[in-house]
Amino acid sequence: MSNYSWDYSYFKKEINNKSIKLFVNKYLYSNIPVSAFDQLESISKIQEIVSPIVSHADIHPGFSVPIGTVFLSPKKNGIISPSAIGNDINCGVRLIKTNLFKADLTKELLIKIKKELVSLPIGLSKEGYKITMSDLNNILDNGINWCIKNKICSAFDKSKIEANGCYTAATSRFVSKKAKERAILELGTLGQGNHFIDVLVVDKLFNNIISKKFGLVKNQVVILIHTGSRGLGHQVANDYNLLCENKSPFPYFKFNSKLGKQYFGAMCAASNFAFVNRELLSFAIKSKLSVIFVGQKKLKFGLVCDISHNIASIENINNLDYIVHRKGSTLVRKNNPIILPGSMLDNSFLLLPGKNISMSYNTLPHGLGRSMSRTDAKENIKFNDLISLMNKKKILLGGRSENVMREEQPCAYKPSKEIISVLEKSKLAKIVMSFKPIIVVTG
């Protein structure tokens, strides 16, 4: 790994006639694994990828390219890569506001809520929402519109979801039979790994006017869901990675090739499935919690936002159309909120774009980024010690797998104060509010 030079708000390097920009501070830079730098620099070897290549403060090694990366390729003669998008297509986060407040939640109620959340189809559950193959194809092609038609959510929610909850280029016939067989059992399930359902309270307000605009005030209870396209997305990625004729430095298609167009249609279909997956989880959570509050309070949910962070989209930048790959990074739209999830102990944040957001192709980090591998994180803490740590902080922890909880332990992630510091100093984002976790449920 050769050194990058510091340029006030980011590190930079010239390689293969391209620039790489790393929006990290000196502390985070010194802790990036060599393998992440190697993966980042490998992107520059593909001629059809334009300069600069950008990575964020949550950068850590992924499959083929590092998580926390965004790069562009011209639509006219560019490339699209299943591995650079990732196996969990349209993995994303959804923020829901409730009409509950911290004062409404006694210790007994919190325990009941955690129990109900753990009873949902979390982990690698195949006990999803019951649908037919006809339903599935409709979902793949039409996304959240299927939910509206079936009265699972209102048409108003579309405006809060990225791409209005439906990528119109989706083509269900480009999704394999095997992928569909996996999907039909997993709709409305959480998945494993870093997927979670968190119950949080609004902790600090940094902008009262904008906070009120989103209908959020101090001590209000919110729910944060992190999941994606489950086995469907994984299978789509596997299917098309095997078909890539170009394998180095990672598998990719020419975007305008027959297979490139088919993959894009299948990726959009998997993205539509992910939108519906998060919507059905929201529906199930509200149903579970409503039972707890019967006779006390009529529970109300309101969608704040639903955003993606493993996806490729076609965007016009400086009057040219590009295929924009985002792996573990989030597209920012003007005046739309972005969620930066924290760790089990660190706060999560609601952000708005800053004045320099165009420097990162209108992209922000998708989270804090791992600082430990899953193996190291698991070996670093015993389960009883993790529970004790969470109890001391008055946070309830639940899940199906003790091993997954240990893999997702707080020290496995970078400190939120460092990530937020980078975003503020580089003027990529403005902080609106923070959320403190009170219940964490892992996959």
DSSP per-residue codes, 140-164:
HHHTHHHHHHTTSS-GGGGGGBGGG
* 325 flagged as catalytic: no
CATH of the domain at 197: 3.90.1860.10
Mean pLDDT in consecutive groups of 10 residues from the start of the chain, 443 residues: 84 97 96 96 97 97 96 97 97 98 96 97 93 98 98 95 97 98 97 96 97 97 98 98 95 98 98 98 96 88 97 96 98 92 97 96 97 96 97 96 97 96 96 98 96
pLDDT, tens only, 17-72: 999 999 999 999 999 999 999 999 999 999 999 999 999 999 999 999 999 999 99
Whole-number pLDDT of residue 295: 77
* Residue 16 CB partners (closer than 8 Å, separation 6+): 44, 45
CB 228 within 8 A of CB 247: no
The two tokens of residue 379 are 């070996």
Residue 211's CB is within 10 A of a number of other CB atoms, namely 19
CB 97 within 8 A of CB 306: no
Please give the model's pTM, rounded to 2 decimal places. Answer: 0.97
Whole-number pLDDT of residue 294: 84
- What is the dihedral angle through the alpha carbons of 55, 237, 175, 129, rounded to the nearest 10 degrees? -80
* Residue 422: domain span: 5-442
Going from the C-alpha of 173 to that of each of 89, 270, 314, the distances in angstroms are: 17, 12, 21
Whole-number pLDDT of residue 58: 96
Whole-number pLDDT of residue 2: 65
127 DSSP 8-state letter: -
pLDDT, tens only, 405-436: 999 999 999 999 999 999 999 999 999 999 99
Whole-number pLDDT of residue 410: 97
Residue 206's CB is within 10 A of a number of other CB atoms, namely 14
Whole-number pLDDT of residue 387: 97
Q: Is the peptide bond before 341 cis (omega within 30 degrees of 0)?
A: no
Q: Considering only CA atoms, which of 35, 31, 25 is closest in space to residue 1?
A: 35
Sign, Cα dihedral of 261, 262, 263, 267: positive
Based on the structure, what is the number of domains in the chain? 1
Q: Considering only CA atoms, which of 132, 122, 91, 64 is closest in space to residue 270?
A: 91
Whole-number pLDDT of residue 297: 84
Residue whose tokens read 């129990």: 115
Going from the C-alpha of 120 to that of each of 107, 129, 440, the distances in angstroms are: 21, 11, 14
CA distance 266 to 244: 14
* Helix, strand, coil abundance in the chain, percent, nearest 5: 40, 30, 35
Residue 244's CB is within 10 A of a number of other CB atoms, namely 19
